[in-house]
Amino acid sequence: MKTIRPVQNLIDEFRKLPTIGPKTAARLTYFLLKAPEAESLKLASAIGNLKSKTTVCQQCFNIAERDPCFICDDNRRESKLICVVEEPLDVVAIEGTGRFQGFYHVLGGVISPVAGVGPEELRIQELIERLRGGMVEEVILATNPSVEGEATAMYIKREIERQIKGENPAIRITRIARGLPTGGDLEYADKVTLSRALEGRIDF
């Protein structure tokens, strides 16, 4: 039986989302068909606002409602400490521990030759610029413990040593501890594991 075009269009859009297969996409679509119109319109409005009412903080590159974001605009946080993460979801995960009071830098991914992502596609040079002036005393490399995450951390370490160590020899480069399983993602780690990984960070 051929699916009518408006239904098929929504199924096709749902299928573009991560982990959503054809059956799940169809279930979601038919759920919305049966739901009250007000509920469907609330979903449509939320999706529209996701783009129209969010921006990217030009200091840390996290997703925000305003620029600078509420974290970068908080003068109670520790300005000498920057935690480098891959994606905005990693900021959410670390903030959820309640144990980190420094600032963040979101790279926007990891170095992955297979996916065609090189260092120039990430916000690595923007990080280097933030480190100039000697205000930052420690950079925590909190990329995921995957092959790509490790390679990205190593690259950033070399760039900091090459470009910043001359200006600020005392700057400390640390890596989150191995409380996280190899190949795991920060966003899926529990708060206790993440807290221990932050507390047990080592010089890198």
| Residue 178 belongs to domain spanning | 76-203
- C-alpha distances (whole Å) from 108 to each of 14, 16, 59, 120, 169 are 23, 20, 13, 11, 27
Model confidence pTM above 0.85: no
105 and 43 together in one domain: no
Number of domains in the chain: 2
CATH, residue 26: 1.10.8.420
Listed in sequence order, the DSSP H helices in the chain are 5-15, 22-34, 37-52, 88-95, 124-131, 147-163, 191-199
Rounded distance between C-alpha atoms, residue 190 and residue 20, angstroms: 24
42 and 120 together in one domain: no
Condensed to tens digits (0 to 9), the pLDDT of residues 84-137 reads: 999 999 999 999 999 999 999 999 999 999 999 999 999 999 999 999 988 999
80 and 49 together in one domain: no
Condensed to tens digits (0 to 9), the pLDDT of residues 28-74 reads: 999 999 999 999 999 999 999 998 999 999 999 999 999 999 999 99
46 and 87 together in one domain: no
Rounded distance between C-alpha atoms, residue 192 and residue 185, angstroms: 15
109 and 45 together in one domain: no
Tell me whether residue 59 is in a domain: no
3-class SS of residue 197: helix
